[in-house]
A = this chain, B = another copy of it.
Amino acid sequence: MTEFELQLGLDYEVADKATLILNIAPARTAAQIVTGESLSLFGAEHSDWYTDRLNANRFLRINAGKGELSIEYACRIALAADFTPIEQLGERSVADLPVDTVRFLLPSRYCQSDRLGEFAQAEFGKLPPGHVRVMAVRDWVRKHVRFQSGFTNPSTSAVDTLVDRRGVCRDFAHLMIGLCRALSIPARFVAGIDYSDGPRDDPMDFHAYVECWLGERWYLFDPTGLCAVTDLIRIGTGRDAADVAFASIFGAVKCAAPRVEMRRVAGTTPVPLPPTHGASTSIHALGDLGQDVEAARPVRLMPGAIAA
């Protein structure tokens, strides 16, 4: 088990008064234990935490008046990745899908699967259902979309990316999700932080992933190929990016760049790399959110308080 400390500082200038809904706290899942967290608010009039009962996302809602608003959030997370190989996994037919996964077959704001059926069936319809087919979708997106910052914008959708073939992790995820849903595979969007230890210049990054329901649980994929799915700290889960916005702001507010720091807690073990036996071995479940919703303890923090 490895432990991480995450520190996040957010600075806003509120013009008059505003409400912010932040999705910054790591999700509490079976594979991701939040062992402690603290929150300090300066300039907030009121705040409450709430957990979305569908997706287990933890939202911090803050009310602020005119002036500066600062948010200091810190937490310690223990990750227990699990490396079940999934090469043999098949799909569940729609008739057998658990009820809570069915909604992830539906089109959503940025994943218009209702328009992608003809293409998805032609391209992937004859592949063996299950892990093989999902990997084919992932690889198709990886091969046909070019990673390019600054080309897309917050209203860019899967349909746009299928046409323009350029975008960032969020766009890759939306297209993969749209295609999976068009194939009747439940698929959802995961926003998180990649904590990889490797020789990257930027050791930490917000990143978007895809989860597909295969067999009996959700499995994680990264269509960009930039991050290992084992290196994810999960923040939010939803139909698409609309459900897990880092910050939804109601009112006139100026933002500074967020201050983020993350470090491995000394003495804890790095998450082991999964055993290598083929191209797909890095694809593993990092937690079954279905369970997590049950397990989620209500957390309500006062500004400055520390939760155990």
Contacts and interface: CB of A to CB of B under 8 A. Distances in A.
A46 B95 contact: yes
A52 interface: yes
A159 to B, nearest CB: 5
Copies in the complex: 4
Contact of A164 (B54, B99, B107, B115): B115
Contacts of A99: 50, 52-53
Contacts of A103: 52, 54, 243
A21 B184 CA distance: 12
Contact of A115 (B21, B61, B107, B155): B155
Interface residues of A, number: 45
A114 B242 CA distance: 9
Contact of A95 (B19, B105, B112): B19
Interface stretch (A27-35, A116-124, A281-289): A116-124
A108 B157 CA distance: 12
The 8 A-B residue pairs whose C-beta atoms are closest, nearest first, are: A118-B165, A63-B95, A19-B94, A50-B99, A19-B95, A107-B109, A94-B250, A106-B242
A154 interface: yes
B153 A153 contact: yes
Contacts of A243: 103, 106
A101 to B, nearest CB: 11
B165 A122 contact: yes
15 contacts: A19-B93, A21-B94, A46-B95, A52-B103, A61-B95, A106-B242, A106-B243, A107-B109, A107-B242, A108-B109, A109-B114, A115-B155, A119-B163, A153-B153, A184-B250
A19 to B, nearest CB: 4
Contacts of A102: 21, 59
A201 interface: no
Nearest to A165: B118
B165 A159 contact: no
**Of listed A50, A52, A163, residue having the most chain B CB within 10 A:** A163
A116 B163 contact: yes
B165 A108 contact: no
Nearest to A119: B165
Interface string A125-168: 00000000000000000001010000001110001001111100
Contact of A112 (B122, B155, B159, B165): B155
A52 B54 CA distance: 11
A172 to B, nearest CB: 14
A166 B184 CA distance: 20
A100 interface: yes
